[in-house]
A and B are shown apart, each in its own frame.
Chain A
Amino acid sequence: MTEAPDRLTLEGITKRFGPFCANNDVNLQIAEHSIHAILGENGAGKSTLMNIIYGLYTPDAGRILSRGREVTISDPREAMALGIGMVHQHFKQVNTMSVVENVVLGLPGKQILDLGEDRRRVSEMAAELGSAIDPDQLMSTLPIGQQQRVEILKMLYREADLLILDEPTSVLTPNEIESFFKLLRQLRDSGRTILLITHKLDEVMDLSDRVTVMRQGRVEAELEISDTTPRELARVMVGRDVVFDVAHTKPRVGAPVLEVEGISAVDDRGVQALHNLSLKVRGGEILGIVGIDGNGQRELAEAVVGLRELTGGTISISGTDTKSYGPNERKHKLKVGYVPEDRQKVGLDLDSDISLNMVLRGYRQAPYSNFGLMDYARIRTHAEDLAKRYDVRMRGVSQRVRDLSGGNQQKIILAREIEDDPKVLVVSQPTKGLDVGAIEFVQRTLLSQRDEGAGILYISSELDELLLVADRLAVIFKGRIVGELPASEATPEKLGLLMTGRDIHEQG
């Protein structure tokens, strides 16, 4: 066993983009039949490295060996011929085609399409993987977890035995993640090798056999999972000690700043999404909203900040009825900050530069404009100041926001929403897709806002995160608050029951 060559070996891989070195002398050994994780923050060079293995980039220096034999991989076809398959973070699928059509799409050597055989094999393989996928089902009708399985199936169908998975859990719900992990272990046990790219520590600890930690284009460490701890991994990844338990002091709670009373609202399709929902947030506390995605969280956030009309009920902010207040007045007069869930589609204008985005919600007011004339010089200095204080990594404030990493994009939103001392802060999935360092930053920032007296409505589907940061928790289910409890009394079990609509008291 020990003499068997590694499934894939990288030696001294270097890749530059202009003056920027994305991969610097990277060495990597991936054993057969193992789950090997590549851990690193956003921008650490993980994706570049995977693109090199998959033949999308050619390295400037270094060697690649597949089972001990030196190879050059100049396009994905050649990677596939070596048994290397990749599942991208954003699936490459045709939504209007069926599962089996997606699987065979691009396979060579057929003049007349006869899917009978393929259909049989696809459902066989699906069954083997422990999921019943109907090969004739339309891709668009599958839940995202199933779509991901089809993507894996596609690779296995092409006889890939080394699967590269790029941030595979970022699209999955907690329940889906559980069964996805089972699938990966099963794949390993049936002789495949898995290369998992991730920035999530617990995933690495749960799942992988070995881990390679990357930082700034270099390999910082290669470790056996059994020999390491999450704390050590985090330190290597970020390059300094990471405080896991963000200093959570007791809240100094003040008067209610946000009072939501019996509100109702409809979603974009006109279906009622909020039913007679009530809650209260006081100054200096964080109320966490727990729930499975799609139970009215988005509508609740939008109703509070004024982007969604109410069909009933009232919302008061600092004692003022907000009925006649639009999103602008709520932001600037009532001091309601909002960090929306979809930072790219809602929170930012990706095609404008950093400086404009720093004042996106305020450029029509003094001092950023006077009598309808923009003061771009003022906006620029303001942005430079904020970017420095919030540590936005950029080439300059005139850089387009589209070209920044997710963490840096989120910092822009936070900086903007926090800068004018909000009384109420509505934050929705603020750490989604961020790496450990950025998550820590976001949570720290929010806690310090709380300590300065802001009332924070913290909506998230990450239970652990809410348990860590929130002072009180409210569970939302089908547009209603079905339970509320102090964070100190909350356990994942209790919350889990409520999240699926069952009453904890009924359970005894």
Chain B
Amino acid sequence: MNRGDVRSSAAQTDSETQFQARLLGIIRIVFLLKTVWAVIAALLLGAILILLAGGDPLEGYSALFRGAFADYWGIGDTLVRMSPLLLAGLAVIIPLRAGLFNIGAEGQIYIGALFATIAALYLPEYLPGLVRIVLCIIVGALGGALWATIPGLLKAYRGTNEIITSLLLSYVAVNLIGAVLHMWLIEPGAPYPYSREVPEEVILPIFLPRTQAHVGIMISWIAALVVAVMFWKTTLGQSIQVVGHNKHAAAYAGLNVKRLTVLSFALGGSMGGLAGVFEVLGLKYRLFDHFSPGYGMQGIIVAFLAALNPIGAIFAAIFLGGLQVGAGAMQRATGIDTTMVAALQGLVVLCVALGLALKFHPDRWQRRIVAWRSSR
């Protein structure tokens, strides 16, 4: 019998066990940061693409970075871009915490913009500007919420797949805005469909002089904070997450699962609605046909990059917004086409999605570490 071997090996394993535990801890942290690795991997893959296109990746990336973050006007543009991305991200995050996929933030953005435009154009002029702005924001958020309530209700009471309904309703919304513009709101004599300009009193002030950075951007940050506090501190946020984890347990806990399903969709929709409001009151001052370059869909990227964390969404939106703004600077400086940034975004999505598949299994890593140590 080799009982003796077992004993002596047990005695020496003490420091070894400690070493292995520490190693496991490090691997755990590496896994926690997987979104960062995914973004780095995407940038590296993008560098290969730039090389293949005959450009210099280092030069390209530095032009991109400088264009987006290292100059006053660039920062202004990046912020203007990040605001709708952030709000669209929040529109995805809130329902997703309840286990529901809101793929229709785009539609909610359009309806929010429509409601805000109508309010801006038709609110009585004797109301002070600030009151009218607040009302526009509320009405726009309500519009987005209302639009999102449709897939919410269908999901809660009919079991209809919310991915399909919210997605398809986006197309309905975009075309609805087109129709409303044509039939009613269009500026007489306009070469293509856009509304009259909103009154000066409801236009959002600029907070970075000589840029387009409007206070809507700040409100979007506040919105992210509010959503974060909702999930960290409130019973409502807690309930939404219990529903997301387990509907049966939620019902057992006395939660009204149907109501929370509708509510989380409506809350998400109101964020989309806000994005629409700010595009009109902060940036374009009119309602344009097809004004959104797909913020709704990009909101899904923001949500995943942020791992559903509302504060993380701020950084994800800044990153994506910076990419999009920097693309122009990169093209001017190096001749690399702006479409490279679209490819880069695709790569980021791909790498983050691949990262999601990599789960940290402490047991498996434990086994690997032990095998490695004992083979030495």
Using a CB–CB cutoff of 8 Å, the interface residues on chain A facing chain B are: 11-12, 14, 16-19, 25, 57-58, 60-63, 307, 326-328, 331, 338, 340, 342, 345-352, 356, 360-361, 363-364, 369, 372-374
Contact = CB atoms under 8 A, between A and B. Distances in A.
B15 interface: no
Interface string B6-23: 100110010001001100
Given A363-B235, A373-B234, A307 B2 contact: no
Given A25-B6, A58-B367, A360-B249, A372 B254 contact: no
Nearest to A359: B253
A62 B10 CA distance: 12
Given A12-B6, A58-B371, A374 B253 contact: no
B249 A374 contact: no
B43 interface: no
B359 interface: no
Nearest to A379: B238
A303 to B, nearest CB: 14
Contacts of B3: 12, 25
Nearest to B241: A352
B252 interface: yes
Contact of B249 (A327, A346, A363): A346
18 contacts: A11-B1, A11-B2, A12-B2, A12-B3, A18-B24, A19-B17, A60-B9, A60-B13, A307-B251, A328-B254, A346-B252, A349-B242, A350-B245, A352-B241, A352-B245, A369-B235, A372-B236, A373-B234
A338 B252 contact: yes
A326 B257 CA distance: 13
B20 A18 contact: yes
Interface in B228-263: 233-236, 238-239, 241-242, 245-246, 248-254
B366 interface: yes
Contacts of B200: none
A12 B3 CA distance: 7
Contact of B254 (A11, A17, A327): A327
A372 B234 contact: yes
Given A12-B2, A352-B241, A352-B242, 9 more contacts: A328-B254, A342-B248, A346-B249, A349-B242, A349-B249, A349-B253, A356-B238, A361-B254, A373-B233
A25 B6 CA distance: 8
Contacts of A369: 235
A356 B248 CA distance: 16
Contact of A374 (B20, B235, B254, B371): B235
B168 interface: no
A361 to B, nearest CB: 5
A351 B252 contact: no
Contact of A360 (B235, B253, B366, B371): B253
B245 A349 contact: yes
B244 to A, nearest CB: 9
Contacts of A342: 248
A346 B235 contact: no
A63 B2 contact: yes
Contacts of A348: 246, 249
B5 A61 contact: yes
A14 B10 CA distance: 9
Contacts of B6: 12, 14, 25, 61-62
Given A58-B367, A61-B10, A62-B6, A361 B252 contact: yes
Given A61-B5, A374-B235, A347 B17 contact: no
A347 B249 CA distance: 6
B254 A345 contact: no
User: Which of B2, B250, B254, B371 is the most central at the interface, judged by chain A CB atoms within 10 Å of its CB?
Assistant: B254
Contact of B252 (A60, A347, A352, A363): A347
A60 B251 CA distance: 46
A329 to B, nearest CB: 8
B246 A373 contact: no
Contact of B245 (A18, A328, A331, A351): A351
A181 B91 CA distance: 57
A351 B245 CA distance: 6
A374 B245 contact: no
B163 interface: no
A18 B366 contact: yes
User: Which of A12, A57, A349, A360 is the most central at the interface, judged by chain B CB atoms within 10 Å of its CB?
Assistant: A349
Contacts of A60: 9, 13, 370, 374
A92 to B, nearest CB: 18
The 7 closest A-B pairs by CB, nearest first: A328-B254, A351-B245, A12-B6, A61-B6, A349-B249, A346-B248, A327-B254
B21 A345 contact: no
